[in-house]
Structure 1
Amino acid sequence: MEIKKWVEYGIIPYEALLLADPNISEIKRYFYQSDVFLIEEEEYTVGVVCIQNKEDCSEIVNIAVLAEYQGLGYGKQLLDYAISHVKQLRSKNLIVKTANSSIQALAFYQKAGFRMVEIVPDYFTTSYSESIWENGILAQDQIILQLSWME
């Protein structure tokens, strides 16, 4: 297993990115504005994390692991790497946004110490042209979670 930074002109891991965000035009919008890290197994990309950095806060805009590699710790390794990267940049907070229907993601982030700080009602029903269903639940509200640390 190796985590490495995506290099310009490298293959964009759409297969993984689309697992976390079904909107390809949105992915194309934020991908090139992000620090992108790939987790590879024998030179095969099995996961990706995209991080956008601002002055006092960074945001994970996409994190995903291919289905056949989920549950093996790759997502946790990507998240830990993202947290380390953001701390090195001297950012004070890291946020991530997900849907009310993303039960596994909500648990995943909270286990890593993230706390829910905001709910954006009807975000997914107004921002996406097609309904998104996960775990038998309609994605309606956006949940914003934040991890903060002391320097």
Structure 2
Amino acid sequence: MFQLADDSNRQILLYLYRGEVLVASQFGQPLGQALILETEAQDVFELKSIAVVAWRQGQGIGGTLMKEVVRYCRMQKAKSLRVSTSIADANAIRFYLRHGFRASQIVRDAFTVENGYPKYTEDSRIPLNDAIEFELVLTTLAA
């Protein structure tokens, strides 16, 4: 399921066992996942991966997972949650904006062939190359 969120198996192996995984399931069948990492910055967490199986997308599972990610981070006393995605992934960008994230920076050449990523998106042949990073400032208020 991590391959739904990340095009690089090499990168998945680098973070797969380093964080906390939240799983959305129904009748014992996994429908979605989110992986959260603590960063080196104090009180900052990173949403490294979030995905929902294709046949259940658009049904609110991703939004529910995101709410649980935020709740988890608040329970850990995190001050902010960061996430990044390719500038070519309009759906992911819309998803993060809908959930209150704000753009914080552009990282040039984050998605390169050398890092295990394809040069272009599968469906539209748009170069993946740059990443857009987002941040959600967390308050001490209950989720």
TM-score (norm 1): 0.84
Where does residue 137 of structure 2 map in the other structure?
148
Where does structure 1 differ by over 6 angstroms across 4 or more consecutive aligned residues?
none
Contact 1:35 1:50 in 2 (8 A): yes
Q: Could you say if the C-alpha distance between residues 74 and 129 of structure 1 is closer, same or farther in structure 2, counting changes exceeding 3 Å?
A: closer
Contact 1:102 1:134 in 2 (8 A): no
2:19 to 12, 19, 34: 34
1:51 to 14, 36, 40: 36
Note the C-alpha offset of 1:135.
5.3
Name whichever of 101-110 and 21-30 sits farther off.
Answer: 21-30
1:42 partner amino acid: F
Q: Could you say if the C-alpha distance between residues 135 and 100 of structure 1 is closer, same or farther in structure 2, counting changes exceeding 3 Å?
A: farther
CA distance in 1, matches of 2:19, 2:131: 21
Name whichever of 65-74 and 125-134 sits farther off.
Answer: 125-134
Contact 2:22 2:35 in 1 (8 A): yes
Structure 2's unaligned 5+ residue stretches are none
TM-score (norm 2): 0.89
Residues 58-97 of structure 1 mapped to structure 2, 5 A cutoff: 58-97=45-84
% identical aligned pairs:
29
C-alpha RMSD of matched pairs (Å): 1.4
